């Protein structure tokens, strides 16, 4: 994983007020919970007293209560009460959970993942797409892949596979010859526009020979560490959060944003059909992505990449840079 990043880890709706859940994210067993006002918290799922899973506990007086001995912890991880010592006894400052900063936006829970849970975020800015407005209607689905999240992300950056893996769906009629693609890079990600065509004996254009396409409404964007958008048109988008579970498992949160169909009944039918179509496409990919060897991707790993893989190359370069910076920090 890349340290010092805001990762989407859950949909906000998955944790209710006064609820405690246990999940595995970013290779860690986490307890995620809300107090009575809906404020979220997250920590390692381990009580610092005797190592019990805090996710078996409950919310009591807006604190997370350990089920074993009743120790109570606040959202920032501080222990507020040790019942065996009595309310009048001060709580030693060193007794605290290994908590992580959590923020909510865009219907997601973001967790600041650092080398040490106690490290404060270096930025308050959460990764998101500025062009997604509240006027778009949304549906959401999840899908579990037995693959490292870097490979799952690369699948969405791969413009070479579309006419083969998706020949019966989104790749129908798309040619195998890959021009470019046209790419724009920025500090926390990249935007690209595929330009595939049929093979007529031509030599494909390199990425540095590509001109900006005239159809500017269709493009794809990836934001580090784990968000991607397919901007199909102004009225139709697909957003995916690639949520790392551990080294060999990833959960995809896929959302369709649309304002093509606004009548409630027809809108629900449209989103229902879209969700099922998206799942078919995902499973066409999943079948092969889960076979990657090795699972985690790196820039230098013995693979023989081609010019059409340039978005993948840029992703690997930036990911390796970020891992190196946070490793040395």
To 10 degrees, the CA torsion angle through 124, 129, 134, 139? -110
> What per-residue string of b and e applies to 117-155 under the rule 16 or more CB within 10 Å gives b?
beeebeeeebbbbeebeeebbebebebebebbbbbbbbb
Q: Report pLDDT for 116.
A: 72
Q: In tens digits, what is the pLDDT along the chain, a chain of 329 residues?
A: 899 999 999 999 999 999 999 999 999 999 999 999 999 999 999 999 999 999 999 999 999 999 999 999 999 999 999 999 999 999 999 999 999 999 999 999 999 998 776 677 888 899 999 888 777 888 999 999 999 999 999 999 999 999 999 999 999 999 999 999 999 999 899 999 999 999 999 999 999 999 988 777 789 999 999 999 999 998 999 999 999 999 999 999 999 999 999 999 999 999 999 999 999 999 999 999 999 999 999 999 999 999 999 999 999 999 999 988 755 44
Question: Rounded to two decimals, what is the model's pTM?
Answer: 0.94
Q: Report pLDDT for 71.
A: 98
Q: Report pLDDT for 118.
A: 63
C-alpha distances in Å from residue 55, one per residue of 42, 70, 136, 197, 231: 10, 13, 35, 52, 38
How is 179-191 classified by DSSP, letter by letter? ---EEEEETTEEE
Per-residue tokens: 138: 């949304």
**Looking at the DSSP assignment, which residues form a beta bridge with residue 246?**
249
Read off the DSSP letter of residue 83: G
Read off the DSSP letter of residue 120: P
Q: Report pLDDT for 78.
A: 96
CA 173 to chain centre: 30
Q: Report pLDDT for 117.
A: 65
Q: Which domains does the chain have, with CATH numbers?
A: 5-113 (2.102.10.10), 137-328 (3.90.380.10)
Q: Report pLDDT for 328.
A: 46
**Is the separation of the CB atoms in 54 and 46 below 8 Å?**
yes
**Is the separation of the CB atoms in 318 and 312 below 8 Å?**
no
Nearest to 279 by CA among 238, 245, 318: 238
To 10 degrees, the CA torsion angle through 77, 78, 83, 84? 100
Per-residue tokens: 304: 């023989």
């Amino acid at each position: 994983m890349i340290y010092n990043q805001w990762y989407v880890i859950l949909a906000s709706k998955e944790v209710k007020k006064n609820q405690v859940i246990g999940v595995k994210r970013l290779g860690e067993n986490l307890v995620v919970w809300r107090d009575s006002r809906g404020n979220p918290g997250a920590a390692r799922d381990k009580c610092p007293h005797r190592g019990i899973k805090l996710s078996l506990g409950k919310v009591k007086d807006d604190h997370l209560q350990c089920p074993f001995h009743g120790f109570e912890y606040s959202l920032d991880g501080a222990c507020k009460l040790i019942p065996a010592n009595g309310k009048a006894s001060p709580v030693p400052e060193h007794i605290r959970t290994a908590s992580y900063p959590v923020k909510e936006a865009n219907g997601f829970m973001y967790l600041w993942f650092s080398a040490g849970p106690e490290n404060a975020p270096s930025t308050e800015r959460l990764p998101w797409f500025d062009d997604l407005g509240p006027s778009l209607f949304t549906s959401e689905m999840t899908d579990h892949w037995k693959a490292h999240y870097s490979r799952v992300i690369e699948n969405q950056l791969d413009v070479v596979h579309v006419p083969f893996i998706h020949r019966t769906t989104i790749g129908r009629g798309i040619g195998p010859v890959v021009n470019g693609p046209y790419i724009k890079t920025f500090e926390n990600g990249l935007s690209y526009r595929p330009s595939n065509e049929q093979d007529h004996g031509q030599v494909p254009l390199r990425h540095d020979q590509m001109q900006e396409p005239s159809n500017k409404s269709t493009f794809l964007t990836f934001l580090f560490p784990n968000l991607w958008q397919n901007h199909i048109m102004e009225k139709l988008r697909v957003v995916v959060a690639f949520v790392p579970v551990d080294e060999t498992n990833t959960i995809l949160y896929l959302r369709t944003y649309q304002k093509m169909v606004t009548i409630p009944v027809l809108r629900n039918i449209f989103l229902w059909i879209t969700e099922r179509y998206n799942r078919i496409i995902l499973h066409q990919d999943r079948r092969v992505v889960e076979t990657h060897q090795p699972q985690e991707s790196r820039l230098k790993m013995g693979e023989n990449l081609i010019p059409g893989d340039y978005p993948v190359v840029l992703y690997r370069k930036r990911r390796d840079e970020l891992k190196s910076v946070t490793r040395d920090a």
